Structure 1
């Protein structure tokens, strides 16, 4: 199975197109509401631009489906993709709202939801994956504290903010998923703080650009997540897992192994990476390879729509905590806020 239909022809679709080619698969069809964009990506990849999503998915040359359109269109396309019975990988988020995520899982059923691969790409970063594997293998004994730091080099365009769903649903959702995958336990409470100090205009649009969330897991592990829409020194992505017998750290890769040793710069290392594709580019190829392997073998996807729902649940709880100014105690993904 190698023929992929890509829904979308924007930035993320182009990222996935390169990963598909890097994984020795091929792109069969491409759909985008802007036909010219679909035709341009099709011309560069040897694919066929389809006039509709349904036609692109149904093409006999298509064995699997990739959804990489804007977030607000994901769930609509997912319903169509599930109908085909073909394996599907969808970029995060599962849907543009917590309610829509719950409705999708309830409608298609848990078995079908586990066949939908959710694109939480950071799970496949080598450093992050090594922390998760080390924790699960007991290398640091009982996990006691987990700290996840995610800071972007600069804020998104202001026109993006109102349709992003907010920092917790758009940016921190990666970290909620990462926390769940490392801790391996349900969270029982969420406490969020946030402010708009990077750009007051973001606050005027109803969002925050600087945030922290503390979560308590059912086994007592404390999870701290730090997010910022601005980082003066690059793309800051770190994880620290502290346990009874030691600590595991996934640190920021640097642009090179070059280090300066002078009187004014004693042991100054090269800067960290500046862009998400520099950091996570190889992870996208690892992700698509795993997706294709699971699809060929008929296995449940290791990160799936259920994980997407649970990350959306934690993002919704964090949003409620910030708005209500209190800790939210969690009862399950059917909880109303």
Structure 2
């Protein structure tokens, strides 16, 4: 059984700890700068606590490293983990800025970048994966429009906002990656709009909580992404792919298959799921399993740090578009966007 070093014992660290166990791997050692958090998780799992991230990565019982610390720490930890020679899985995003993502790739090199698994877990959601397969299999003809909707049930803690990198770089980063995975091509332009109308405090901290992005692909396909930090009816996660021969939809799973037929509820289905682990818990375990399979077979990771760079590039372009009030024409991840 593969032993894992987990860096981070906060919310995402706990998500990955559960996924590691569900995937049949063993959580050997945990590090978190907040020692009581690491100790609490380690006690539940039966792992030991390392005093530093370097100690966790170097631990003899750790065959691989999972990074689930705050976004602004990812790059330095990825660089350090790659230098150990151990396989690495890093939770998204690769970096909280495009500059840091570039620095990461430049430091570890292109070959190593393709062996760092980037935790875009939504690629492994059953509905989203089935939609992607249907598009790639030509079931809807030529893809013409893609609509990705991602709305959280409630805003994040305000303390999280300044360290997140912003909605485009942290929340919508999943959707940029999903769009690239479905279209299998790059984009030629990005137009973004955003506002802070859900919680004015988020705006005062320099971020937005309500956003839309339109991207044009080289073949003319149009991608629309909608994000909101609050959704009154649950965790709203849908993808619609429309093509020349039809449409496929990855819809919201529901709390049950129950549908109520009464005067007040004429065929009302059960509510959608309310928490991201209910919605995506299985995808995190599938992600870990695929990571371990790639490690065992010596394969490049199917979603890797290079994909993280490209998603960061789209996020930076969207940030620039929103702040500068213009469409950004894309030329490649070395492009500069001015003050964003």
Check whether TM > 0.5.
yes
The correspondence of residues 1-337 of structure 1 with structure 2, limited to 5 A, is 2-337=2-337
Name the CA distance, whole Å, in 1 between partners of 2:263 and 2:40: 52
Residues 210-239 of structure 1 deviation map (CA, whole Å, 9 limit, x = unaligned): 110000001111000001111111100000
Name the CA distance, whole Å, in 1 between partners of 2:189 and 2:212: 14
Aligned residues: 337
Contact 2:255-2:271 at 8 Å conserved across structures: yes
Name the CA distance, whole Å, in 2 between partners of 1:12 and 1:163: 15
**Secondary structure of the structure 1 residue equivalent to 2:302:** coil
Residues 63-118 of structure 1 deviation map (CA, whole Å, 9 limit, x = unaligned): 11000111111111111100011110000111121101011101111110000001
Name the CA distance, whole Å, in 1 between partners of 2:222 and 2:207: 26
Contact 2:79-2:107 at 8 Å conserved across structures: no
**Per-residue deviation, 1:159:** 2.3
Compare 47-56 and 140-149 and name the one that shifted more: 47-56
Give the alignment's TM-score, normalised by structure 1: 0.98
Compare 155-164 and 289-298 and name the one that shifted more: 155-164
**Following superposition, which runs of at least 4 residues in structure 1 exceed 3 angstroms of deviation?**
none
Residues 34-89 of structure 1 deviation map (CA, whole Å, 9 limit, x = unaligned): 22222222222121111111111111211110001111111111111000111100
Cα distance, 1:67–1:254 mapped onto 2, change above 3 Å: same
Superposition RMSD on alpha carbons, in Å? 0.9
> Which segments of 5 or more consecutive residues in structure 1 lack a partner in the other structure?
none
**Secondary structure of the structure 2 residue equivalent to 1:93:** coil
Name the CA distance, whole Å, in 2 between partners of 1:208 and 1:34: 28
Name the CA distance, whole Å, in 1 between partners of 2:172 and 2:37: 29
Name the CA distance, whole Å, in 1 between partners of 2:164 and 2:242: 32
**Secondary structure of the structure 2 residue equivalent to 1:336:** coil
